[in-house]
Structure 1
Amino acid sequence: MAERRLGDAAGELLPARLKAGSPKGQELREILEGLIASLGPGAPLPSERALAERYGVARMTVRSMLDRLTSEGLTYRVHGRGTFAAEPRVAQAMALSSFSEDMLARGLRPGSTILRQEVVPAGGVVAARLRVSPRARVVRIDRVRTADGEPLALEQAFLPAARFDGLQDADLATGSLFTLLEQRWGVRLAAADQRVVAVTIDGEEAELLDVRPGQAGLLFSTLAEDAGGDVVFSATSLFRGDRYEIDLRQRRE
C-alpha cells in the first residue's frame, strides 16, 4: 500500500531504506532533495504517511522535514492535494549587475512588462536620493521583470531626465537599462549602495507577481553611481521570496 501511495516515478527514484547508523532526519532530507531535483518543478512528492511507512520514521519527522523544505523554497503545498517540487530559486551574488545580466548568466530569458515609463516631477524623497531639485524632472520606469516569462520582480526606477533625455521613449521591454545607459549616453555604473529588507507581498503587488497575498518577498533599495560619484539612478525592486535568494561571500579582516 505504501509503495502505491509513493507513485511510480517517486517509487523508482527513492532508495528502499535508510542507511543504518545515519541520522534519520539528515538522510531523509538528502533523499528528498535528490527526489526534487530528479522529478522537476511541479511534480508531486510522496505523502507524509507513505514516506514514514517506507523508512520506518515518525510522521512528525517527515512533516518537520517537509515544512523545512517548504520554508526554504524547495517545495510548496496545495491544500488537499499534497506537497510538490518547487521551481529552483534564482541566486544573485552581491555584485553590481543588471537583472538581464543575472538571468542570462543562469540560462534564463529576461523580459519586462512596462507599467509606467514617463517624465514626472522629482518630489522631495526622489530628489534627495538623486541629489537634484524637487522641481527637477525625472524619468520614472515601473516594470514587472520576468524570467522565461514568469514574473519574478517588480521594479521602480528614477533617473534624472536632464541627463537622460529621451529615456522615457526607449524600448525597455526587452533590453537592459544598464546596457542602454552605457551605449546611448556613455554612462557606466561604477558602484551602488544597496539595502535588502524582508517584506510580505500583498494587494496589487501580489497580483502582478502572481503569488498569494502574504507571501514573503525581498525588497532591494539601490542607489547607483558612475565613476565620478554622480547618482545615476534610484530604484526599488521587490523580488518573490520563493524564487530568489542572495549569495554572500565574506572575509574576516
Structure 2
Amino acid sequence: MSAAAHVPPPDKVVNGPTPKHAQLREILRRTVERELPPGAPIPSERELAQRYGVSRLTVRSAIGKLVEEGLLARVRGKGTFTAARRMELQLYLMSFTDDMRRRGLTPTTEVVSAATEVPPTASAHALGLAEGAPAHHLVRLRHADGVPLAVERGWYHAGRAPGLLELDLTQSIYSQLAETYGVRPDQAWQTVWAEGADRETARLLGMRAGSPLLVFRRVSSANGDPIEDITSWYRGDHYQVTMQLDRNTPEPGQPPHYGGSR
C-alpha cells in the first residue's frame, strides 16, 4: 500500500498522531477560506460534532483557535461567523456613528458607565484642568450591525460641556457637542498602539483576554480649547489602519496633525 493511502481524506477526522482538534481546525479553515463569504454563520458545535464524529469539546477547541487567529468571530447570543474583512481605519476626525453609516452599517451604542469625577493627572493635563477639577467620564461600547467593535473610555471638559451626561449618550457625542454647546472639535493629536485585551475589555467585546486590539488615544480641541481625551480599544480582527505618508518632517517635539475615526 502506498504512503498516500494512509493520508486521511481532507474532510474527515481520524484517529492518529495529529490531535483531532487540530485536524478539525484545518478542515474548518479550508471551509472558511474557500467556501464561505465574510460574515457567514458556521454550523453549531452540536452539528459539527455530529458531522465529524468528535466531541463538542474538540469542536470548541478548534473554533477557539480560529477565533484567536481572527478567521472566525463569536457574536454573543447569535453564534459563530466567518470574520468580516477588516475595515480600513483612516485617520481623520469623524464620529463613530457617522463613520459606520458611511460604510452602510447600522451603529448602536451601549453606555457602560457615566460619571463626573476627578480625572487622572494625564487626562487633567490634556484637558487643561486645574488639579482636583472634575471632568465627565464616559465609557461606551460601540457596535456596528450588532457586532461589538470598540470600547471607548473618554474624559470631557465639564466647563465646556456642562450637563453632557444628561444628554442621550447612545448618540454621537460630536453631534451633541455641536448641537447643544456649539462646540465642534476641529483638531486632534492621536497616538496609536497595539495591546492584548484585558479581562474587562475582552468581556465587553466578546473576545478572549489577550486578543489583539488596536488602541487609539486622542485629545481633541475646538478653536484651540481641549474638550476631549479619549482612549478607544478596537478589535484587531476587524480593523486595519491606513495612513498617507509624505516626506514632510514635523519640528522636533511636535507630532503631526491628525485625528481619528470615532
TM-score, normalised with respect to structure 1: 0.69
1:113 maps to which of 80, 94, 110: 110
2:187 maps to which of 191, 207, 214: 191
Matched, 1:219 2:218: no
Name 1:172's counterpart in structure 2.
169
Matched, 1:132 2:129: yes
Pair 1:140–1:101, CA change in 2 (3 A): same
In the aligned structure 2, how far is the partner of 1:40 from the partner of 1:186?
Answer: 40
- Contact 1:123/1:135 (CA < 8 Å) preserved in 2? no
Q: Which amino acid aligns with 2:229?
A: S
- 1:170-222 Cα deviation digits (max 9, x unpaired): 1111x101111111111111111011111001211111110011110011100
Q: Which amino acid aligns with 1:179?
A: S
2:239 maps to which of 234, 240, 244: 244
In the aligned structure 1, how far is the partner of 2:158 from the partner of 2:73?
Answer: 46
- 1:18-43 Cα deviation digits (max 9, x unpaired): xxxxxxxxxxxxxx867454x75334
Pair 1:134–1:123, CA change in 2 (3 A): farther
Name 2:26's counterpart in structure 1.
none
In the aligned structure 2, how far is the partner of 1:40 from the partner of 1:155?
Answer: 24
What residue ranges of structure 1 are gaps of 5+ in the alignment? 7-31, 45-66, 79-83
Q: CA deviation at 1:91?
A: 2.0
The DSSP-based 3-state class of the residue aligned with 1:189 is coil
Matched positions, count: 198
Pair 1:40–1:204, CA change in 2 (3 A): closer
Pair 1:246–1:101, CA change in 2 (3 A): same
The DSSP-based 3-state class of the residue aligned with 1:151 is strand
C-alpha RMSD of matched pairs (Å):
3.1
Sequence identity (%): 32
- Contact 1:92/1:102 (CA < 8 Å) preserved in 2? no
Name 1:152's counterpart in structure 2.
149
The DSSP-based 3-state class of the residue aligned with 2:136 is strand
Q: Which runs of 4+ in 1 moved over 6 A?
A: none
- 1:81-138 Cα deviation digits (max 9, x unpaired): xxx7322222221111111111111111111111111211234222111011122121
Name 2:40's counterpart in structure 1.
41
Name 1:54's counterpart in structure 2.
none
- Contact 2:89/2:241 (CA < 8 Å) preserved in 1? yes
What residue ranges of structure 2 are gaps of 5+ in the alignment? 1-7, 13-31, 44-64, 75-80, 249-262
Name 1:102's counterpart in structure 2.
99
Pair 1:96–1:77, CA change in 2 (3 A): closer
In the aligned structure 2, how far is the partner of 1:184 from the partner of 1:118?
Answer: 19
2:84 maps to which of 84, 87, 97: 87
Name 1:63's counterpart in structure 2.
none
